[in-house]
Amino acid sequence: MSDTSLRPRGVSEIVDAAFALYRRHALQYIVVAAIATAPSLIISLLYVSTPPTT
């Protein structure tokens, strides 16, 4: 639990902690991002692939 100690941190420590968190949970972030963007991507692909009606 030393990672969550409450103390003043410098900018470099905050950035380092953020990247460490991303590295530790990279797969989870990728899965969540894919789930979040999949519906929009599917709708966009369907919209682009349908021919315009004239």
Q: Which residue has the tokens 């990279």?
A: 26
Whether residue 10 has pLDDT greater than 60: yes
Cα–Cα distance between 9 and 24 in angstroms, integer? 20
Instruction: Sketch the domain layout of the chain as residue ranges.
Output: 11-49
Mean pLDDT, range 27-43, rounded to an integer: 95
- pLDDT band of residue 24 (cuts 50, 70, 90) is very high
User: Do the beta carbons of residue 32 and residue 46 sit within 8 Å?
Assistant: no
Angle in degrees, 0-180, between the axes of helices 26-49 and 11-24, rounded to the nearest 10 = 70
Mean pLDDT, range 39-50, rounded to an integer: 86
DSSP 51: P
Confidence (pTM): 0.57
> Mean pLDDT score of the chain, rounded to an integer?
88
